[in-house]
Amino acid sequence: MEEREGEVRWDGLCSRDAAARDAALDTIGQAVLRRAESIASGAAAEGLPVPAARDGLGEALARLLMLSKRCPFPDVRAKSEAILSGVQELGIRIPRPLGHGPSRFIPEKETIQVGKEDATMHTLFAESFATLGRLDNVTLVMVFHPQYLESFLKTQHYLLQMDGPLPLHYRHYIGIMAAARHQCSYLVNLHVNDFLHVGGDPKWLNGLENAPQKLQNLGELNKMLAHRPWLITKEHIEQLLKTEENSWSLAELIHAVVLLTHYHSLASFTFGCGISPEIDCEGGHTFRPPSVSNYCICDITNGYHGVDEIHASPAGSIPVSSTESVCEVEALMEKMKQLQECRDEEEASQEEMATRFEREKRESMFVCSSEDEESAATRDVSRHFEDTSYGYKDFSRHGMHVPTFRVQDYSWEDHGYSLVNRLYPDVGQLLDEKFHIAYNLTYNTMAMHKDVDTSMLRRAIWNYIHCMFGIRYDDYDYGEINQLLDRSFKVYIKTVVCTPEKTTKRMYDSFWRQFEHSEKVHVNLLLVEARMQAELLYALRAITRYMT
């Protein structure tokens, strides 16, 4: 919000010092109330009814609403509420949140409540707030797994804010380009705000054709990475590195590739966990008063329903008895036990292993949802990328053959890691740590069962995702995937990884029906990291081939 005397600054709220936060909020509160008093007195003088928040006041009130609900510091929450109350006393309507909690798929009462977190989580929340200027809904869902969240936040902070080859506004614009490929308005909205905050040119937001040619040139790599990474060749890399005055350096390109893959996979997490719009962003709040039933027709048309309707269990799916669900868990555990016994007794030949991989790769093409829902983006994100018709295609369809990517020939551990670390120091290490945490994360539980070794199941999920991308591990028996992952689970995995914008709550509810929400979020962490690594492998292999 802009004042006549100058612009109100929100930066001081990110301070870890309580006195600095208090002083910043005092300044913000005075500016907001002055503007509110000006609007209220002007309306009264003209004999108008309750005035609307205008001249930037609405955005400031939405930001204060977010702080009152989502700030990890109690002093900021309380003071933000007091400012909102002061505005309301002047007769100006204040906003209220839309939706219920950080996820449309997970009941709010089952997520971590801000203000009720333990010491470890509070530290993570405070760190996230200080870094991002907000406690976003992604963080509030990821915090089911604090060890992973810590690594995720550290990596994202490094990519966006620490020293690196690309300027800050380029980083956020690349985030917008990547998220827009999946019509992820949640991430686009956040990075539009961040892009402007670090001094980005607003004209660039009118469409990719208004951005510098250098960024426009990245559009082709962006769309292939997001939808068909197996098509990336060293010629694509050469085109970016040798385009005269608009060329990329190798270090800049590595930074851009990591950002693109980070935001493609984060879009998967956003849709896979049903992340709600941020309170202060479009779709996250309304100035309309609540109706008797606690929602009005405008909310329904925007996809926001009553709390009972949203979180009916299992919403939008056929009710299943708890006995039947328990049987699913028991059956899965029994299959794991049998597969382990088979492993101990005999090992398939290399020829048989290769055949099983090809069979699973072929079968993965025919895994698709019976639902054909279009995502309801809250802003037009298509202007941030070119060729809007370009989407995911199974790599073996229409007779097109792409050679299998064998991990023994090019792997993250032996090749990708060192290439990233050499050209963008420390990032290889951060990514490696994040991959390992996601892959190895376990609490040795499955639904209501404890002391369970879940490594076989986690490996099946990871390798199934890589299999969909044509990536093969010679030492893995792909016959295990069909034993451990049923059709509804495969549909969910493929949708979240390949076309995340088509993910629905029905898909989320229909797999692992007896498992905890934290376990389903855990699945999403595996999907995020396996997808990101698959994209990186194809891009980094092409860069390696260009360099040699």
Question: CA nearest 317: which of 105, 103, 511, 509?
Answer: 509
Question: CA nearest 461: which of 476, 443, 445?
Answer: 476
Q: How far is it, in rounded angstroms, from Cα 313 to Cα 309?
A: 9
| HEC-encoded secondary structure of 150-215 | HHHHHHHHHHHHCCCCCCHHHHHHHHHHHHHCCCCHHHHHHHHHHHHHCCCCHHHHHCHHHCCHHH
**Which residue type occupies 45?**
A
Question: Helix, strand, or coil here: 96?
Answer: strand
Q: Quick check: 471 and 405 in contact, CB under 8 A? A: yes
DSSP states of 415-473? IIHHHHHHHSTTHHHHHHHHHHHHHH---SEETTEES---HHHHHHHHHHHHHHTTEE-
Query: What separation in angstroms does the CA of 121 have from each of 105, 278, 442?
Result: 22, 20, 18
184 catalytic residue (yes or no) = yes
Chain-centroid distance, C-alpha 166: 22
Q: Quick check: 233 and 526 in contact, CB under 8 A? A: no
Q: Spot the catalytic one: 71, 184, 273, 281.
A: 184
Q: How far is it, in rounded angstroms, from Cα 272 to Cα 142?
A: 12
**What burial class does residue 170 get, using C-beta atoms within 10 Å of its C-beta: 0-12 exposed, 13-18 middle, 19+ buried?**
buried
CA dihedral of 469, 171, 375, 66, whole degrees rounded to 10: 130
Q: Which residues contact 349 (CB under 8 A, 6 or more apart)?
A: none
Q: Please state whether 166 falls in left (phi above 0), alpha (psi between -120 and 50) or beta.
A: beta
Q: How far is it, in rounded angstroms, from Cα 470 to Cα 533?
A: 13
Structure tokens at 480: 């295990």
Q: How far is it, in rounded angstroms, from Cα 546 to Cα 548?
A: 6
Give the catalytic positions in this structure. Answer: 184
